[in-house]
Amino acid sequence: MRCGVLGDPVEHSLSPVLHRAGYAETGLDWAYDAHRVPAGGLAAFLSGLGDEWRGLSVTMPLKREALAAAAGAGEVARRAGAANTLVRRNGGWWAENTDVPGAVAALRERTDRPLGSATILGGGATATSTGLALVDLGVERLAVAVRDEARAAETVAALRAHPHGPHVRVVPLAASEALACDVVVSTVPPEAQTSDLVARCADVPVVFEVLYEPWPTPLATDVLASSGRVLVSGLDLLVHQAVLQFELFTGTPAPAAAMRTAGETALAERSRS
């Protein structure tokens, strides 16, 4: 059986490391590889796959494309308007979103603080998934900080449509005032994490940095150097969502500890190279 991760770029992905560690731990003779698929190329890639393909992890820029390419989708994927998971079902592809429950699990693994307000840096598909996770955890007030309000339209619409009815507003990423909220989620690249932006986040008690490479990012470095603040990492998110994918693909309980250890080891090795 074969699985894989699709995206562009995808060479940095730790998903093969995690899933292969899961196969080794459970004795599954499965393959899992990374495949570069650019935007607009997902349908063509899927059309060339044989029946031995059981599941696909989908990363940027294909998450919204994956939902459109599937024959059907789970409720969370439909709500997010994006899928990070495609599972072979009845000869076709079924879309799921494990980013949302993965983000919930990652946050609750690191903190049990009540979360009522949040700021999300960035407005893409990952911002949508983490935002929905925050609302699931009780966040009622969400600010989406972006350079271009129009590019966040899909994310804002998805968050406002959540059954809990959160208050969602769009704010400029380059604003000057300090962030006053319970949690900040960063989905922006390291080069966008300017010293001014990092300083504006300095009083936020919980920071969720969805990136895991390069690590630590400027925002994560600031949290690690502080006292009493909580940092949720991109590896936390990656492991929790991969565990759910592993079980969807294989029908086998995932060895979460072995998968996390493999990811930590791989990141440590990359940092030394």
**What are the residue numbers of the active site?**
63
> CB within 8 A of 257, min separation 6: which ones?
none
Structure tokens at 209: 């940095």
DSSP 194: -
Could you give the strand order of the β-sheet that contains 92-96, starting from the edge strand earlier in sequence? 31-36, 2-7, 53-58, 85-89, 92-96, 72-73
The two structure tokens encoding residue 90: 């009845």
Distance CA 139, CA 154 (A): 19
Classify residue 215 as exposed, middle or buried by CB count within 10 Å of its CB (0-12, 13-18, 19+): middle
Q: What share of the chain is helix, strand, coil (3-state, %, to 5)?
A: 45, 20, 35
Spatial separation of the C-alpha atoms in residues 235 and 228, rounded to whole Å: 21
Q: Which strand (E) or helix (H) includes residue 145? A: strand 141-146
Alpha carbon distance 202, 208 (integer Å): 13
Residues 6+ apart with CB under 8 A from 158: 79, 80, 81, 128, 131, 132
